[in-house]
Chain A
Amino acid sequence: MIDLLTYEFIQHAILAAILVSIACGIIGTYVVINRIVFISGGIAHIAFGGLGAAYYLGFNPLIGASSISLLSALGLGWMDCQGNEREDTIIGILWALGMAIGSIFISLSPGYAPDLMSYLFGSILTVSSQDLSFMLAWDLIILFFVTFFFKQFQAISYDREYARTRGIPVHALYTILLLLIAITVVMLIQVMGALLLIALITIPVTIANIFSQSIRKIMVCSFFISLVFTLSGLWLSYFFNLPSGAAIVVVAGGSYMILKGVRLKIN
Chain B
Amino acid sequence: MNNEPILEIQNVYFTYKRQPVLDEINLALYREDFLALIGPNGGGKTTLVKLILGLLKPSRGNIFLFGKRPESVRSSVGYVPQKSTERYRDFPINVHEVVRMGCLKAHIFKKKESSPTHSIEGALESVSMSSYMHRQIGELSGGQLQRVLIARALVSNPALLIMDEPTASIDTEMEKGLYDILKDLNKKIPIIIVTHDLTAISENVNKIGCLNRYLYCHRSGEVTEEDILKTYNCPIELLAHGLPHKVLKKH
A161 contact from B55, B77, B104, Cβ within 8 A: B55
Given known contacts A151-B100, A165-B74, is B94 in contact with A159 (CB within 8 Å)? no
In the complex, the answer to whether A162 meets B106 with C-beta atoms within 8 Å is no
Query: Would A165 and B79 count as touching, CB distance under 8 A?
Result: yes
Is A215 part of the binding interface, using a Cβ–Cβ cutoff of 8 Å? yes
**Interface size of B in residues (CB-CB distance below 8 Å):** 26
Complex CA gap A164/B152 in Å reads: 14
Tell me if A152 and B92 are in contact (CB < 8 A). no
Complex CA gap A209/B91 in Å reads 10
Tell me the chain B residues, 83-111 only, with Cβ under 8 Å from chain A: 85, 87-88, 90-94, 97-98, 100-102, 104-106, 108
A163 touching B108 by the CB < 8 A rule? no
Q: Given A213-B94, A214-B92, A218-B92 in contact, is the A159-B104 Cβ separation under 8 Å?
A: no
B-chain residues with CB within 8 Å of residue A162 when the two chains form the complex:
79, 81, 85, 101, 152
Given A155-B101, A155-B104, A161-B55: A167 touches B75 (CB 8 Å cut-off): yes
Give chain B residues whose Cβ lies under 8 Å from the Cβ of A151. 100-101, 104
Q: Which among A35, A161, A167, A214 is the interface contact of B106 at CB below 8 angstroms?
A: A167
Q: Is there contact, CB below 8 Å, between A161 and B93? A: no
CA distance A168 to B110 in the complex (A): 13
Of B79, B101, B105, which is in contact with the most chain A CB atoms at under 10 Å from its CB?
B101
**Cα(A163)–Cα(B74), bound, Å:** 11
Residues of B within 8 Å of A213, CB to CB, are 92, 94, 136
Q: How many A-B residue pairs have CB under 8 A?
A: 70
* A98 shortest CB reach to chain B, Å: 29
Closest to B101 in A: A155
Which residues does chain B contribute within 8 Å of A33, judged by CB atoms? 91-92
Contact A163 B91 (CB under 8 A): no
With A33-B91, A155-B101, A162-B79 as known contacts, state yes or no: A148 contacts B85, CB within 8 Å.
no
Chain A interface (Cβ < 8 Å from any Cβ of B): 33, 35, 148-149, 151-152, 154-155, 157-159, 161-168, 209, 212-215, 218
Instruction: Supply 8 A–B pairs (Cβ within 8 Å), ascending by A.
Output: A152-B104, A152-B108, A158-B87, A158-B91, A165-B75, A167-B106, A213-B94, A215-B93
The 7 A-B pairs at the shortest CB distance, nearest first, are namely A167-B106, A167-B75, A166-B104, A165-B79, A155-B101, A213-B92, A165-B53
